[in-house]
Amino acid sequence: MPKVIIIGNGAREHVIAETLKNSTSNLDLFILGEAKNPGLFSLASEYKIGKTTDLEVIREFSTRIQPDFVIPGPEAPIDAGAVDLLLEMGIPSIAPIKTVARLESSKSFTRDLLQKYGIQGNPKFRVFFGNQGLESYLKNELAEQFVIKADGLQGGKGVKVVGDHLKNIEEGLNYAKECLNKDGRVVVEEKLLGQEFSLMSFTDGTTILDMIPVQDHKRAYVNDQGPNTGGMGSYSDANHLLPFLTPQDLAMANEITIQVSKALHKETKTPFKGIIYGGFIATKNGIKLIEYNARFGDPEAMNVLPLLKTNFIEICQALIKGELSGLKLEFKKQASVCKYVVPQGYPDNPTKNEKIELKSMPENAKAYFASIDQRADGLYLMGSRAIALVGFGNSLPEAEQVAQKAALSIKGPVFFREDIGTEKLIKQKIKALQELRA
């Protein structure tokens, strides 16, 4: 009987656990989370509450369980050195060690890597270690069209774009100085215009197997308004493209990831093994890289993993052994739409400790629990994204309707992005990219 530890307690970890359980009727699943997730709890042989970045907690739990492998869900345990520790203990992980996980934990490292090895996909950028030349670069080099990126892990909220989050150069300079004070460096880039998409891939350090491309929606409110969040929802299409993407766009994103993987190995003498997740943008000048992550996306995992036809445990085992080249990765030909139900006031001033009710779910829908506490009298909001509702169908409109109906079944002080996956919003995105590329 395989034994697997999942580190983390969000909706992403819930769907990872479900997909593992669907791979075999014979699985011992162990969870290390910082809070009790009712969805994960129902799937686990044992559920330990503990700090997911505390290496001693991870060591003690893993020594006792002796799992076949570990899947760290969030980025923080990877950055804390959990995978390195487990490797020393002889326990493999579906994630990279810290040296190569810098692809996610340091935006400056990734930009410099692409530049050094001449890999396509970088925007115009500079890494600053102080204020000198910063204002001139924003004004003259970038013509006041800029993005300021904090260098370290920020939970998806460290990037600020002029015109969206920053009104002018003065606000840009203030945020850049804030980043410099915190991290000692800041990445300043040109603002790219186009359509963003996520492409997650399994890799054993040599072979890269792409999952289905997904479009995430970071902004809190309808029509991509409001502050950045961890992700309000996402969708994937039944043809395994996206409505605004061409097969050539997807091939270019894949090629960037292949070249980055090779350059990373050459630079660090270490293979990247696990999930390599590229955030890309389709522009008038082809595909550009926004950032890389070293784990499954949240919400993107909820679109992709339920559609996986290939046995997930077999994928993990092949990844660990370096045998992904002998595996065929297959997904159902269905569309998926994910809508996150979040507390009123999220992300800046979210409602907490209020009860919500989950009414009956429509057919072809799934609910994945995130920041939810199950008490004796029901489910309570914990202050972050609460439940990911995912609809599946033979087309995007069909999947969107299922997701919409599922999200509306949650009663309480919550809201969600009703426009995610709708024909209206998708047509806007197609038109915007067509006009850019005309």
User: Which of 221-227's residues contact partners 24+ apart within 8 Å by CB, and which partners?
Assistant: 221/417, 222/417, 222/418, 222/419, 223/419, 223/425, 227/157, 227/165, 227/347, 227/348
Closest to 302 (Cα-Cα) out of 420, 415, 389, 410: 389
pLDDT digits (tens, 9 = 90+) for 297-341: 999 999 999 999 999 999 999 999 999 999 999 999 999 999 999
Instruction: Answer whether 39's CB lies under 8 Å from 63's CB.
Output: no
How far apart are the C-alpha atoms of 70 and 5, rounded to whole Å? 5
pLDDT digits (tens, 9 = 90+) for 389-426: 999 999 999 999 999 999 999 999 999 999 999 999 99
How far apart are the C-alpha atoms of 99 and 249, rounded to whole Å? 29
Looking at the predicted structure, is the pLDDT value of residue 153 above 80?
A: no
Stretch 117-131: mean pLDDT: 95
Looking at the predicted structure, is the pLDDT value of residue 369 above 70?
A: yes
Q: What percent of the chain has pLDDT over 90?
A: 91
Closest to 422 (Cα-Cα) out of 399, 392, 390, 393: 399
DSSP assignment string, 404-421:
HHHHHTEESSEE--TTTT
Helix-then-strand count for the chain, H and E = 14, 24
Stretch 55-78: mean pLDDT: 98
Q: How many CA atoms lie within 13 A of 106 on its CB side?
A: 16
Query: Based on the number of CB atoms within 10 Å of its own CB, is 186 exposed (0-12), middle (13-18) or buried (19 or more)?
Result: buried
How would residue 3 be classed by pLDDT, with cut points 50, 70 and 90?
very high
Stretch 224-229: mean pLDDT: 88
Counting every residue, how long is the chain? 438
- What pLDDT does residue 204 have? 97
Tokens of 361: 């779910």
Q: How distant, in Å, are the alpha carbons of 68, 89, 185, 236 from that of 60? A: 16, 11, 36, 39
CB count in 10 Å sphere of residue 111: 21
Range picked from 151-155, 261-265, 372-376 for highest mean pLDDT: 261-265
Looking at the predicted structure, is the pLDDT value of residue 377 above 90?
A: yes
Cα angle 146, 149, 154 (rounded to 5 degrees) comes to: 150
How would residue 110 be classed by pLDDT, with cut points 50, 70 and 90?
very high
Arithmetic mean of pLDDT over the chain? 95
pLDDT digits (tens, 9 = 90+) for 275-293: 999 999 999 999 999 999 9
Closest to 404 (Cα-Cα) out of 394, 414, 419: 419
pLDDT digits (tens, 9 = 90+) for 155-174: 666 788 888 888 899 999 99
Looking at the predicted structure, is the pLDDT value of residue 91 above 80?
A: yes
How far apart are the C-alpha atoms of 154 and 74, rounded to whole Å? 12
Please report the domains of the chain, with CATH numbers, ordered by start residue: 3-95 (3.40.50.20), 124-190 (3.30.1490.20), 193-326 (3.30.470.20), 335-431 (3.90.600.10)
Decide: helix, strand or coil at residue 374: strand
Looking at the predicted structure, is the pLDDT value of residue 198 above 70?
A: yes
How would residue 154 be classed by pLDDT, with cut points 50, 70 and 90?
low
